Amino acid sequence: MVVPLTDDIYWVGVVDWALKHFHGHELSTHRGSSYNAYLILDEKKVLVDAVWTPFEQEFMAQVRELIDPAELDYVVANHSEVDHAGALPALMREATNAELLVSEKGLESFPGNYHADWKMRAVANGETLNIGKRDLVFIEARMLHWPDSMFTYVTGDNILMPNDAFGQHYATAGRFNDEVDQHELNHEALKYYVNIVSPYSNIVTKKIDEILAMGVPVDMIAPSHGVIWRENPLQIVEMYQEWAAQKTEPRAVIIYDTMWNATARMAQAIGDGLSDEGVDHKLLQMSVTDRNDALVDVFNARTVIAGTPTFNNGMIANMAPIIEELKGLRLKNRLGATFGSYGWSGGGAKVLHERLAEAKFRMIGEPLEVQWQPDADALQRCREFGREIAVATKAG
């Protein structure tokens, strides 16, 4: 069903309740998602964004409820990724009079992804387009999160349509932030930030400063996934500012895996050392923990303590995905430490140590390796290591 945001502006997207994985299987989406598109019926008829390809017919039906697609004057495509532009081929076949408006970088990515011959024009950063009672203002948002990303601002109703920024993978019956569970909403907004946006934290800060400096009123923030921020819409901007700054709290997370529990017992002893010094922490065994959820815990912690048994001279394979991801996320202001059990050669924890150092973690001490199952002495050393890590964590 279509949902009005204000007079003449409608949500015409789709809710994907069943989505459990996104970006292939790269991202878990336990609470589904939505693909939001917005129709503006002013003197000019404008559609902002579309939806993912499998939902193109559902989306076209939403649009047709309000307008014959042939009456569209403009289709604004803020971003070429298939979850928003995948339905464009179906739409543009019927929107025969519409001009497709994209960012400058979109001139490369739209043909690159769709190989279609659309009437397409790039709008400049800051360009204004009058559509009757309202203007659309286009704001380039390069690398938030693709080169082509763009925000569209609607004057009069003061609605910012920032596409992927400020979104959440969160399927809901209500379309607005004041209609849903606040705890779930905040969690999904953070998980989305950590897993998708955090590598671009510096750009987030700059872009937000730039928009706030424009001094324009913002009554709604209508992203391309999840709910529309209507009640206190700037709360999500403030959260992004805080997340982008990455000021960490003195907490730790122990991410590890184990075959026969030796490394797990070390993890527990290190945890006891953290507790001795009053440092809150979690133990996450990566073979049974969702990586994207674990990254939220990592993001919330100052210190990452990574453990692995030595496995064929290196780390166990279940640790590799999160370690690889930590490199890509380029987290700031983080401390690291590593540990693990081995049988003969050792070296697994050293590999972890090198990887975390490469990912710009400031490493505490040397890798702590214990041969075979830890005895009471070894567990004591682990606990002391935990205390040492706690002291460093508190010092920041």
Ligand X SMILES: Cc1cc2nc3c(=O)[nH]c(=O)nc-3n(C[C@H](O)[C@H](O)[C@H](O)COP(=O)(O)O)c2cc1C
The residues annotated as belonging to the active site are: 23, 79, 81, 83, 145, 164, 192, 225
Judged by beta carbon, residue 56 or residue 83, the one nearer Fe ion is 83
Enumerate residues 6+ apart whose C-beta is below 8 A from 346: 310, 369, 371
State the number of binding residues for ligand X (CB under 6 A): 18
Selected binder of ligand X within 258, 289, 318, 338 (CB under 6 A) = 258
Q: What residue 81 binds from Fe ion, ligand X, none (CB within 5 to 8 A, per partner kind)?
A: Fe ion
Q: What residue 195 binds from ligand X, Fe ion, none (CB within 5 to 8 A, per partner kind)?
A: none
Judged by beta carbon, residue 17 or residue 260, the one nearer ligand X is 260
Span interacting with ligand X, options 30-38, 40-48, 260-268, 279-287, rule CB under 6 A: 260-268
Span interacting with ligand X, options 33-41, 52-60, 273-281, 308-316, rule CB under 6 A: 308-316
Enumerate residues 6+ apart whose C-beta is below 8 A from 23: none
Give the separation between CA 50 and CA 83, rounded to whole angstroms. 8
Judged by beta carbon, residue 245 or residue 317, the one nearer ligand X is 317
**222 close to 228: Cβ distance less than 8 angstroms:** yes
206-252-258 Cα angle (round to 5): 120
Residue 163 Ramachandran class (φ > 0 left, ψ -120 to 50 alpha, else beta):
left
Give the separation between CA 18 and CA 31, rounded to whole angstroms. 8
Q: What residue 312 binds from ligand X, Fe ion, none (CB within 5 to 8 A, per partner kind)?
A: ligand X
Q: Does 188 bind Fe ion (CB under 5 A)?
A: no
Pairing mode, strands 335-342 and 368-371: parallel
Q: Does 312 bind ligand X (CB under 6 A)?
A: yes
List the interface residues with Fe ion, window 54-93 (CB under 5 A).
81, 83
Span interacting with ligand X, options 23-31, 195-203, 293-301, 340-348, rule CB under 6 A: 340-348
Give the separation between CA 229 and CA 298, rounded to whole angstroms. 26
Residue 132 Ramachandran class (φ > 0 left, ψ -120 to 50 alpha, else beta):
left
Give the separation between CA 250 and CA 252, rounded to whole angstroms. 7
Q: Does 317 bind ligand X (CB under 6 A)?
A: no
Q: Does 263 bind ligand X (CB under 6 A)?
A: yes
**89 close to 51: Cβ distance less than 8 angstroms:** no
In the complex, what is the shortest distance from the CB of residue 269 to ligand X, in angstroms, rounded to a whole number? Answer: 13
Q: Which x/- pattern over 238-277 shows residues binding Fe ion (rule: CB under 5 A)?
A: ----------------------------------------
Q: Does 202 bind ligand X (CB under 6 A)?
A: no
Selected binder of ligand X within 3, 260, 328, 354 (CB under 6 A) = 260
Joined together, the tokens standing for residue 42 give: 């002013």
Give the separation between CA 169 and CA 167, rounded to whole angstroms. 7
Selected binder of ligand X within 341, 350, 359, 361 (CB under 6 A) = 341
Judged by beta carbon, residue 83 or residue 369, the one nearer Fe ion is 83
Q: Does 377 bind ligand X (CB under 6 A)?
A: no
* DSSP output for 241-298: HHHHHT---S-EEEEE--SSSHHHHHHHHHHHHHHHTT--EEEEETTSS-HHHHHHHH
In the complex, what is the shortest distance from the CB of residue 367 to ligand X, in angstroms, rounded to a whole number? Answer: 13
In the complex, what is the shortest distance from the CB of residue 231 to ligand X, in angstroms, rounded to a whole number? Answer: 48
Give the separation between CA 79 and CA 84, rounded to whole angstroms. 7
Q: Does 305 bind ligand X (CB under 6 A)?
A: no
In the complex, what is the shortest distance from the CB of residue 382 to Fe ion, in angstroms, rounded to a whole number? Answer: 42
Q: Does 344 bind ligand X (CB under 6 A)?
A: yes
Q: Does 259 bind ligand X (CB under 6 A)?
A: yes
Give the separation between CA 123 and CA 116, rounded to whole angstroms. 19
Q: Does 313 bind ligand X (CB under 6 A)?
A: yes
Enumerate residues 6+ apart whose C-beta is below 8 A from 119: 98, 99, 100
Nearest CA to 211 out of 189, 243, 240, 186 is that of: 240
Judged by beta carbon, residue 120 or residue 283, the one nearer ligand X is 283
Enumerate residues 6+ apart whose C-beta is below 8 A from 351: 308, 314, 315
Selected binder of ligand X within 343, 357, 365, 366 (CB under 6 A) = 343
**Chain residues in the site for Fe ion (CB under 5 A):** 81, 83, 164
**Chain residues in the site for ligand X (CB under 6 A):** 258-263, 309-313, 341-346, 372
